Chain A
């Protein structure tokens, strides 16, 4: 039976992985909801406000980007513009090459995953090491993250202990404390050996040129303190207008993402180390990455650029919980990824045009989104676009014949009567794929086409 790729993937997900993803997401969602509603009388108003601020930024990016460049430059940072993934990788490489750097430590950057930076640098003899525990594990396992903020939500501690043993990080031990300590010991040396530190940025404030990076492990702080050169890879949509907006966004991000009042480590970076300052890099580079974002901006789905990557929509999504993040074949999985990932492909949209179909349109993602993105509406627009571009969609019933019936009342009534045949012949003989897909898992109720109309007629006489 031809069903959608994500459905096929989900049907093959092992029980251990499915349980890990399901439980991890469910707990994340429940904690998020409790903390938001415990702390705020009306979190939905905060979400709406944050959405308006981010939408304002998105609608005015053409003004904000030059303003940010000016502030960053005045603060002593070097600003680079990369329109493609390749250009962004090149920008990183040329900064490293100029310093003769061969070792890079990374923290908190999904954009580096998006642009394929690791492979690019490895091919040029540069080691690029993840320092977030989850990302570190993913990198060691030659795997990919399956969640925006919980990259190893799909792994169990047993699997991680096996991986550590295989990679010489100590004999099998699946105690989370032991796993963390071993990673820490390994990574501490790496920070000291590194020539440069690479991070993303959760926010860049236009007013001050302040870069904001939040982590729970402090690895961003080590990257910044131990290396002489800081490179920030930033999507062009990451701007906030004013410093005071951070009060709203940091509070919403921490609660939506990890059910914390505030993420443990919040770095506010205003440029390179100044005279008399003991720590911090001598050079700060900010690389603004487009890589398809202006195409998104030009589309009718630009609202998705509000996203602050909290992962709440993944946690609540019943489809994500069943399929897991890898099913989406993208750096950004789940509901937000189902919108963003195909759009970021630009003209290659058809390659991921099935992702927007992977939703029952239940709307839970919109309900939890800290910037109130109308994700179901955007998914629907992309379905329309896929259909208009003629992208095949296995499992989606063709609607042409239905539209003819549903616009001609006489034909509709005939079809209602004819449907009774379904009560008498096995559905395997009915050449309707949708019916077979339905009956794969469910019984069909008895066809009673036209009975209501008959009842009404009798009642009215």
Chain B
């Protein structure tokens, strides 16, 4: 699993994997990621040929299709610099999922190498760069949804640490935090009823503590929860933590 055998971060050059969801829907999250990384002195490159991490097909069971996309990612991110991705889910695809589906493939070694240098954004900031607090101010009660693909990784605690360090920001706990929001990629469309029921439970727990904003490190979760809330006519303000970090910086006293 992640952490073990991770390639140490040397220098400040990073490659941004923006994710397909940010490419298609959530451009501001990718932009915030760039600004946050640049604030930390990183030189961010964006390999233009990037598309997707391969997870939809991996998760849907079409591993041959997924392997094609992973191979494309391996070629696209062939530079030795760390790959930073504002999604726990895509990061886990690179260091765990892709390795699983390449178990019997001749190019497993290259896939593993990409996995070793791929970091979820919060994990990278805290455990890769050693940053432990964040400047600026963000006046809000924040409910942090730790996405499932960050289980067993350093990401959840890393994001909580950064958010808690921001002046004015108060993290609020809610019920059954460890439960999945019900997104699950292809699960959300193959099992729409169960997926929505899971999401409604999550929304009930979150709303019960009346946060100003729901924050996560995965836009899949937020797209699902936000979409449900909007459909129910009770929109919920939600943000990626990169946006919170960026907005906090805008208000450095």
A interface, CB within 8 angstroms of B: 1, 3-4, 6-8, 10-11, 26, 318-319, 322-323, 357-364, 367, 377, 380-381, 383-384, 386-388, 393-400, 402-403, 405-407, 409, 412, 416, 419, 433-434, 437-438, 440-453, 455-456, 459
Contacts and interface: CB of A to CB of B under 8 A. Distances in A.
Contact of A360 (B52, B54, B62, B184): B184
B60 A396 contact: yes
Contact of A445 (B25, B62, B198): B25
B157 interface: no
Contacts of B66: 399, 403
B230 interface: yes
Contacts of B186: 396-397, 434
Contacts of B190: 3-4, 7, 357, 393-396, 437
Given A384-B61, A412-B51, A452 B100 contact: no
Interface string B138-166: 00000000001101100000000000000
Contact of B194 (A10, A363, A377): A10
Query: Which of the listed residues B23, B31, B194 has the most CB atoms from chain A within 10 Å of its own CB?
Result: B194
Contacts of A438: 188-189, 192, 227
Which secondary structure dominates chain B's binding surface?
A: helix
Contacts, number: 218
Nearest to B49: A409
B68 interface: yes
Query: Which of the listed residues A318, A383, A384, A397 has the most CB atoms from chain B within 10 Å of its own CB?
Result: A318
Which secondary structure dominates chain A's binding surface?
A: helix
29 contacts: A8-B193, A10-B191, A318-B179, A322-B198, A359-B184, A360-B148, A360-B187, A360-B195, A361-B185, A361-B187, A362-B184, A367-B178, A380-B58, A383-B60, A394-B190, A403-B66, A409-B48, A409-B51, A416-B24, A433-B189, A437-B188, A438-B192, A442-B231, A443-B227, A445-B25, A447-B24, A448-B24, A452-B23, A456-B34
Contacts of B56: 397, 399, 402
Contacts of A393: 60-61, 190
A311 to B, nearest CB: 17
A416 B19 CA distance: 13
Given A438-B189, A452-B27, A399 B60 contact: yes
Contacts of B197: 10, 322
A362 B57 contact: no
A399 B67 CA distance: 12
B101 interface: yes
A397 B60 CA distance: 8
Interface in B174-227: 176, 178-180, 182-199, 201, 223-224, 226-227
B2 to A, nearest CB: 13
Interface string B14-41: 0000101011111100110010000000
Nearest to B151: A363
Nearest to A454: B27
A456 B97 CA distance: 29
A382 to B, nearest CB: 8
Contact of B63 (A10, A357, A387): A387
A449 B192 contact: no
Given A318-B180, A362-B180, A380-B59, 16 more contacts: A8-B193, A319-B191, A360-B198, A361-B187, A380-B97, A383-B60, A393-B60, A393-B61, A395-B190, A395-B192, A397-B60, A437-B192, A438-B188, A438-B192, A449-B24, A452-B18
